Structure 1
């Protein structure tokens, strides 16, 4: 079977059957395109394990992160397993391919005091009525309050907000729907934005395609992940001394602060939308690190 045809069919399978996120599908598609170019073959059956090892070694020599190499390994393993199962290949050349273990680093977390200061300053600035500042205040409050992923935030529609119960319905990974709570500060920021900010942004839209979206861009269309990254970087970055902070930092911070405040680990798992409790447990390591630091500062025999 032609490699390019098989790769196209596989990525369609990932999107339509496995229901993987568009970002994951795009990454796998890029990996397979890179593999085909590196191997310089036309037919799928021409690729053997040595081709795959040489391709991964090129990634290592280039200095790619271990997580990137692990993803590339997963991409080809999944692709060839699918090809065999779909009877496009008789044998799987990736079976003897080993992947480097992914290192697990602790997430970057803003302190509760830092978050309170940043959000208060933004709330004060929003009093002037600028629609962009009103929107940014609501975005940051909701990201931090509900520990949302950036894709979940961008997909929120007006009907997904329950202002009475202070909850938001979001569509997470694997198209799994969940309800996330938020508090009074996020409620106040959303009220201000929806009444005084969003109508001004909506009036700039050239069509009605984004009429149901909660968060709008400067031109009135539904806001995208890149724009949200920019909002977080500009508003939170200076307080953390970096320009590379993204929305996930607020998710990490929210999870850690919930646990620090005594929240049950399984409740935090539900709020985050994690399928596995093990994924949530990384945040207990962050809290433990803070506990150790406090101990060393305060205990006379530390």
Structure 2
């Protein structure tokens, strides 16, 4: 099993350099492969060449026994299939024992989204006369106005925003960049925050701690994803809304509202930064539900 670690190191280099995968994805892939290697030892399989399709089926049974979700099992099998495919490409193996393993169908989860009146209530809470209120307003306006991921929002730099044409440059997954337009409400909130609130908050920074990231905490340091969750929880409490709001819900709402108003799926896919249209299509289920409710509420023969 000694050369497996060497192969794994080569595989990690391949994922980093050729596939440009994120560090988060690579860490998960390595953990999944190492889990399978531990299973191999339990089965007294000492060499990769000894692994057969039947062994992969045994491993699949083991994952089900551990009560992993279908999504987790799919990821593990996908990681192992990629690893063995890489070994075949490098001439280390002649066959991929995972090539015939079918991935379990994903559970279809319809994403939660906010109704327009809920969004409007959230937009009326922040005190835009204070630095933190200005930041909070700019944050929720930009999340809803662009549909970007929270991780992407936290990485936004001052140079990424072009107020003249109303677009923001977003660095997405796998190093992919995209431009997203934003509207007048987001622009007004963002301009006020950058010109006033952000300057007051970053004035607290010590020399050498200066940075160009747009969203900051109360000490002027870069705002984290955890910080965004904390802010949204506070806004919900102020709104007294019986709603469990998570940061990604703004992204879901952005996509759902666009489709409800007639936007085409390909355009929404590009705005969200989805590599595959199937990732965007989940939102069509939401809009179908919306149309059904409208029909049942207003059609005379419903």
Deviation at 1:115, TM superposition (A): 0.9
| Distance (Å, rounded) in 1 between the aligned partners of 2:68 and 2:160 | 39
Unmatched 5+ stretches in structure 2: none
- 1:22 corresponds to: 23
Secondary structure at the counterpart of residue 164 of structure 1: coil
TM-score, structure 1 as length reference: 0.87
Deviation at 1:215, TM superposition (A): 1.6
Q: 1:198 to 1:97 in 2, by over 3 A?
A: same
Deviations 1:242-273 (A, max 9, x none): 2xx43221111011111222323333232222
Alignment of 1:198-277 (within 5 A): 198-205=198-205, 208=208, 211-236=211-236, 239=241, 241-242=243-244, 245-277=245-277
Q: 1:180 to 1:151 in 2, by over 3 A?
A: same
Q: 1:292 to 1:38 in 2, by over 3 A?
A: same
Instruction: Give the one of 91, 102, 108 matched to 1:104.
Output: 108
Alignment of 1:8-157 (within 5 A): 8-40=9-41, 43-122=47-126, 125-127=127-129, 129-131=130-132, 133-157=133-157
| Distance (Å, rounded) in 1 between the aligned partners of 2:295 and 2:163 | 41
Note if 1:177 corresponds to 2:181.
Answer: no
| Distance (Å, rounded) in 1 between the aligned partners of 2:242 and 2:9 | 42
1:110 and 1:240 in contact (8 A); partners too = no
Deviation at 1:104, TM superposition (A): 2.2
Secondary structure at the counterpart of residue 300 of structure 1: coil
Deviation at 1:193, TM superposition (A): 1.8
Deviation at 1:95, TM superposition (A): 2.0
Moved more, 207-216 or 154-163: 207-216
TM-score, structure 2 as length reference: 0.87
Aligned positions, number: 296
User: Higher Cα Rg: structure 1 or 2?
Assistant: 2
| Distance (Å, rounded) in 2 between the aligned partners of 1:205 and 1:87 | 54
Q: 1:114 to 1:98 in 2, by over 3 A?
A: same
Unmatched 5+ stretches in structure 1: none
2:131 and 2:193 in contact (8 A); partners too = no
Secondary structure at the counterpart of residue 18 of structure 1: coil
| Distance (Å, rounded) in 2 between the aligned partners of 1:201 and 1:83 | 52
Moved more, 170-179 or 213-222: 213-222
